[in-house]
Amino acid sequence: MESLSFEEAFEQLEAAVSALQDGQMPLEEALRHYEEGMKLAHYCNELLQQAELRVQQLSVDDNGVLIVRPFELS
């Protein structure tokens, strides 16, 4: 889970919720989805609290190759 982006984790959380909404699911599987969903929600919350805006700048070198480098506001 540590490697998931916020968007991916959020998407999986939504999937867990809708999976759990399927009434026919065996209990064991439902519990698994529940735990997974709760973990994802906590993970998303953590990401939100720790996030810091990352800004990069896109440019091209003389050979027309794209370069991405950190951008600092002057």
Partner 1 sequence: MFAYQAPPVLSVSVLARYLKELLETDDLLHNVWVQGEISGCRTYASGHCYFTLKDAEAQLPCVFFKHARQRSAAPQLRDGMAIAANGSISLYERDGKLQLYVESVELIGEGALFLRFEQLKARLSAEGLFEPERKRPIPEQPAVVGLVTSPDGAALRDMLRVLRTRYPLVQVILSPTLVQGSEAPAAIVAAIDRLNEHGEADVIIVARGGGSIEELWAFNEEVVARAIARSRIPVISGVGHETDFTIADFVADYRASTPTAAATKAVPDIADLQAELDEKQQVLTAILDEKLERLKERLERATYDLQRASPKNVLNQRRQQLDDLTEMLHTRISHLLSLRAERLRGQALRLHSLSPLLTIARGYAVVRRESDQAVITGPQQVQPGEQLTIQVRDGSIPVQVRPSHHSTVPEE
| 47 counts as binding partner 1 under rule CB under 8 A | yes
Hey, is 67 helix, strand or coil? strand
Cα angle value 45/49/54 (rounded, 5°): 120
d(C-alpha 35, C-alpha 33), whole Å: 6
**From the list 2, 4, 12, 58, which residue makes contact with partner 1 (rule: CB under 8 A)?**
58
Residues that bind partner 1 (CB under 8 A): 5-7, 10, 13-14, 16-17, 20-21, 23, 25, 27, 30-31, 34, 37-38, 41, 44-45, 47-48, 51-60, 66, 68, 71, 73-74
